[in-house]
Amino acid sequence: MPELPEVETTRRGIAPHLEGQRVSRVVVRERRLRWPIPEDLDVRLSGQRIVLVERRAKYLLINAEVGTLISHLGMSGNLRLVEVGMPAAKHEHVDIELESGMALRYTDPRRFGAMLWSHDPHNHELLMRLGPEPLTDLFDGERLFQLSRGKSMAVKPFIMDNAVVVGVGNIYATEALFAAGIDPRRAAGGISRGRYLKLAIEIKRVLAAAIERGGTTLRDFIGGDGQPGYFQQELFVYGRGGEACKVCGTELRNVVLGQRASVFCPRCQS
Binding site for DNA, by residue number, is 91, 110, 151
Among 138, 163, 248, 261, binds Zn ion (CB under 5 A): 248
Residue placing its CB nearer to Zn ion in the complex, 172 or 178: 178
DSSP per residue, 4-42: HHHHHHHHHHHHHHHTTPBEEEEEES--BSSSBPPTTHH
> Nearest approach, Cβ of 226 to Zn ion (angstroms)?
37
Q: Which is nearer to Zn ion, 162 or 250 (CB)?
A: 250
> Catalytic: 58?
yes
| Cβ proximity of 54 and 61 under 8 Å | yes
In the complex with Zn ion, the residue whose CB is nearer, 124 or 253, is 253
**Binding residue ranges:** 91, 110, 151
- Of 12, 212, 17, residue with least CA distance to 105: 17
Q: Which residues of 21-121 form beta strands (DSSP E)? A: 23-28, 50-56, 59-64, 68-72, 78-83, 92-98, 102-107, 114-118
260 is catalytic: yes
Stretch that binds Zn ion, among 2-10, 118-126, 220-228, 260-268 (CB under 5 A): 260-268
251 is catalytic: no
Q: Which residue in 57, 168, 177, 245 binds Zn ion (CB under 5 A)?
A: 245
* 207: alpha, beta or left? (left if phi > 0; alpha if psi -120 to 50): alpha
Instruction: Name the minimum Å distance from CB 250 to Zn ion.
Output: 5
Catalytic residue numbers, as ranges: 2-3, 58, 260
